[in-house]
Amino acid sequence: MKKLVLAAVLALSGGLASAAPIPTVVSTESTGFTGSLQVLNDGVFPADASVWSSSKTVWWMGTNKAFTLSFGDLFRVDDVRLSVDNNDSYLLEYSLDNLNWTTLFAVAWHYGEITWGMDTLSTRQGDAEYEGRLDFAPVEARFARIMATGGDNLYSVGEVAFSGERVTQPAPASVPEPGMLALLAASVAAFALVRRRRTG
């Protein structure tokens, strides 16, 4: 029994350790922002305390903008690492269909250790940028989106990176071929006939 429990624990820890970066495609229906959407998923985090309005960020005014990151498939999201302007609040949500959204976590304006400029925050324990107040239980998602919810009305995001594993869908049950069904029916009929003769 102990060996079985140990094997299960090792298998689980192995699965968690194998979490990898989730590729994303960024899009938005919003207008009136500055910067290239490609900086949000290029793997480059602006340096902590760097200027919030640079070529390494997307920045804007107002809380009416949202930036969507599509995973292209169903993934189990384990952790997120992101770079945002330090004195503002942001909301990260996830979705299976790009229509119905659920909160993953909210970044409050006072999270992190930076007092001016860009600040990197992570949900992965052991990361130097770990922020425990953002931690979440793994979720399954096809999309995520980030938006500002309050602050000084000048907002900025430098990177949003996800890690996890692709969710493998169970293979659909195979439907027997008509010939196989006929053979099965003949076998059942033959079995019934033999049994009737023995009992008769």
Q: Does residue 190 lie in a domain region?
A: no
One-letter amino acid of 53: S
Assigned domain for 193 exists: no
Instruction: Fill in the DSSP letter of residue 113.
Output: S
Cβ neighbours of residue 65 closer than 8 Å, sequence gap 6 or more: 28, 30, 32, 33, 147, 148, 155
**For 51, phi and psi rounded to 5 degrees?**
-60, 140
In-domain check, residue 26: yes
189 SS3 class: helix
H or E element, residue 13? helix 2-17
Tokens of 61: 């005014």
What token pair was written down for 110? 């006072």
161-180 in b/e form (b: 16+ CB < 10 A) is: bbbbbeeeeeeeeeeeeeee
pTM of the full predicted structure? 0.77
Q: Is residue 15 part of a domain?
A: yes
Domain span including residue 77 = 10-166
Is residue 99 assigned to a domain? Answer: yes
CATH code: domain of residue 100 = 2.60.120.260
Least Cα distance to 134 among 152, 117, 146, 151 occurs for 146
Instruction: Report d(CA 79, CA 23) in Å as an integer.
Output: 13
Count up the domains in the chain and report the number. Answer: 1
Q: Per-residue confidence of the chain (200 residues) as pLDDT tens digits?
A: 444 433 443 344 444 445 899 999 999 999 999 999 999 999 999 999 999 999 999 999 999 999 999 999 999 999 999 999 999 999 999 999 999 999 999 999 999 999 999 999 999 999 999 999 999 999 999 999 999 999 999 999 999 999 999 998 665 655 556 665 565 566 666 555 555 555 55
Residue 149 lies in a domain: yes
Residue 95: exposed, middle, or buried by beta-carbon count in 10 A (0-12, 13-18, 19+)?
Answer: middle
Q: 80 lies in a domain?
A: yes
Tokens read off for 197: 């003769």
pLDDT on residue 164: 98
Q: How far apart, in Å, are the Cα atoms of 128 and each of 44, 89, 124, 186?
A: 16, 21, 9, 68
